[in-house]
Chains A and B, each alone.
Chain A
Amino acid sequence: MVYENPDGVMVGLEIHVQLNKLATKLLCGCSTDYHTSEPNTHVCPVCMGLPGCLPVLNKRAVEYAIRIGLALNCEIVEQTQFHRKNYYYPDLPKGFQTTQYDYPIVSDGRVVIEGEDGEHVVRIRRAHMEEDPGRLMHMGSIDRSKGTLIDYNRSGMALIEIVSEPDMRSPREARRFLDKLRNILEYLDVFDSTLEGSMRVDANISIGGGDRTEVKNISSHKGAERALLYEIMRQKNIKRRGEEVVMETRHFDEARGVTISMRTKEEEHDYRYFPEPDLVPMRVGSWVDGILETLPELPDARRSRFISDYRMVDTHAKALTSDIRVADFYEEVASQVDPAAAAVWVSDVLKGELNYRDLTIASFTVEDMVKIIELVVGGKITEKGAVEIIRNILDEGGCPMGIVKEKGLLKVEGDVVDQAVEEVLKENPEALEDYFAGKEKSLNFLVGQVMKKTRGRADARSVREMMLEEIDKNYR
Chain B
Amino acid sequence: MLDGLSVIRNKIGSSSAEEVVASYLDRIEKSDINAFTCVAEDAIDQAKKADSLNIEGPLAGVPIAIKDNISTRGLPTTCSSAILNGYVPPYDAHVIERLRKAGAVIIGKSNMDEFGMGTSTETSTYGPTLNPWDTERVAGGSSGGSAAAVAAGQVPVSLGSDTGGSVRCPAAFCGTVGLKPTYGAVSRYGLVSYANSLEQIGPLANRVEDIATLMDVIGTYDNRDSTCVNHDAGYTDALQDDVEGLKIGVPEEYFGEGIDDNVQKLVWDAIGKFEDMGAEYTKVSMPNTPYALAAYYIIAMSEASSNLARFDGTRYGTRSEGENWHMMASKTRQEKFGAEVKRRILIGTYALSAGYHDKYYLKALKVRTLVKQDFERAFEDVDVLMAPTMPTPAFKIGEKMDDPLSLYLSDVNTVPINLAGVPSISVPCGFSEGLPVGLQVIGKYFDEATILKAANAFEKNTDHHTKLAGEVV
Which A residues are within 8 Å of any B CB, using their own CB? 45, 48-57, 84, 86, 88, 90, 93-96, 148, 150, 270, 272-274, 277-280
**A50 contacts B309, C-beta separation under 8 Å:** no
Q: Main secondary structure on chain B at its contact with chain A? A: loop
Q: Do A51 and B352 have beta carbons less than 8 Å apart?
A: no
18 residue pairs from A and B, CB less than 8 Å apart: A45-B91, A49-B310, A50-B71, A51-B71, A51-B192, A52-B77, A52-B89, A52-B93, A52-B189, A53-B189, A57-B226, A94-B310, A95-B308, A96-B306, A270-B353, A274-B352, A277-B227, A278-B227
Alpha-carbon distance between A392 and B459 when the two chains are bound, in angstroms? 91
Interface size on B (CB < 8 Å)? Answer: 46
The yes or no answer to B210 lying at the interface (CB within 8 A) is: no
Binary A-proximity of B283-319 (CB < 8 A = 1, otherwise 0): 0000000000000000000110110111110111000
Residue from A48, A49, A55 in contact with B226 in the complex, judged by beta carbons closer than 8 Å = A55
A50 engages B354 (CB within 8 Å): no
Are A272's CB and B71's CB within 8 A?
A: no
Interface centre among B223, B303, B306, B325 (most CB of A within 10 A): B306
Question: Do B315 and A52 touch (CB < 8 A)?
Answer: no
B325 touches A52 (CB 8 A): no
> What is the distance, in angstroms, from B332's C-beta to the closest C-beta of chain A?
12
Write the residues of chain B forming the contact surface with A, with a CB cutoff of 8 angstroms.
69-71, 77, 79, 84, 87, 89-91, 93, 188-193, 195-197, 223-227, 302-303, 305-306, 308-312, 314-316, 325-326, 329, 349, 352-354, 357, 361
Q: Is the CB of A278 within 8 A of B310?
A: no
Contact A274 B226 (CB under 8 A): no
Q: Which residues from chain B contact A274 at a C-beta distance below 8 Å?
A: 302-303, 306, 352, 357, 361
Q: Which of B84, B191, B197, B224: most chain A CB closer than 10 A?
A: B224
Q: From DSSP, what is the main secondary structure of chain A's interface residues?
A: loop
In the bound complex, do residue A54 and residue B71 qualify as a contact, i.e. CB atoms below 8 Å apart? Answer: no
Complex alpha-carbon distance, A278 and B222, angstroms = 13
* A49 → B minimal CB distance (Å): 5
A159 to B28, CA, bound (A): 51
Sample of 5 further A-B pairs with CB below 8 A, known A56-B226, A84-B306: A52-B77, A54-B224, A56-B224, A272-B357, A277-B195
Measured CB to CB, the nearest residue on chain B to A268 is B354
User: With the chains together, A39 CA to B308 CA distance in Å?
Assistant: 26
Contacts of B79 in A (CB 8 A): 51
A51 to B316, CA, bound (A): 10
B223, B303, B353: most-surrounded residue (chain A CB, <10 A): B303
**CA of A45 to CA of B329, assembled, Å:** 21
Contacts of B312 in A (CB 8 A): 88, 90, 95
CB-CB < 8 A to B193: which residues of A?
A: 51-52, 278
Known: A90-B314, A94-B310, A272-B306. A50 touches B226 (CB 8 A): no
Bound together, the chains give a CA A51 to CA B77 distance in angstroms of 9
Q: Are A96 and B309 in contact (CB under 8 A)?
A: yes
Listed residue (A95, A96, A272) with the most chain B CB atoms within 10 angstroms of its CB: A272
| Known contacts A52-B71, A52-B89, A53-B189; is-contact A86 B226 (Cβ 8 Å) | no
